[in-house]
Amino acid sequence: MCCKMAEDYDYDEVNLNVGCPSDRVQNGRFGACLMAEPELVAECVSAMQDAVNIPVTVKSRIGIDDRDSYGELSRFIVTVAQGGCNTFIIHARKAWLSGLSPKQNREVPPLRYEIVQQVKQDFPHLEIIINGGITTLQQVNELLHGVDGVIIGREAYHNPYLLVDVDRVIYQQESPQKTRHEVALALIPYIQSQLAEGVRLHSITRHILGLFHGVQGAKAWRRHLSVYGPKAGADENVVLQALELVQV
Query: β-strands 14-18, 56-60: how paired?
Result: parallel
What pTM does this model have?
0.86
Question: SS3 of 167, please?
Answer: helix
Q: Which residues contact 52 (CB under 8 A, 6 or more apart)?
A: 3, 6, 7, 14
The average confidence (pLDDT) of the chain is 91
- 28 pLDDT band, cuts 50/70/90, is confident
- 29 pLDDT band, cuts 50/70/90, is confident
Average pLDDT, stretch 114-139?
Answer: 97
Q: How far is CA 216 from CA 69, 158, 177, 198, 219, in A?
A: 47, 16, 20, 33, 8
Distance CA 65, CA 46 (A): 27
pLDDT in tens, 91-123: 999 999 988 888 899 999 999 999 999 999 999
Average pLDDT, stretch 75-84?
Answer: 97
Burial status of residue 159 (CB atoms within 10 A of its CB: 0-12, 13-18, 19 or more)? middle
Query: What is the fold, at CATH topology level, of the domain defined by 2-156?
Result: TIM Barrel (3.20.20)
DSSP 91-130: ESS-B-SSSS-HHHHTTSSPP-HHHHHHHHHH-TTSEEEE
pLDDT at 6: 33
pLDDT at 4: 27
pLDDT in tens, 152-177: 999 999 999 999 999 999 999 988 88
- 137 pLDDT band, cuts 50/70/90, is very high
| 206 close to 200: Cβ distance less than 8 angstroms | no
Mind telling me the catalytic residues?
20
Domain ranges of the chain: 2-156, 180-243
**pLDDT at 73 exceeding the cut of 70:** yes
Positive or negative CA dihedral for 79, 83, 88, 90?
A: negative
CATH number corresponding to 180-243: 1.20.120
**pLDDT at 7 exceeding the cut of 50:** no
Distance CA 1, CA 233 (A): 32
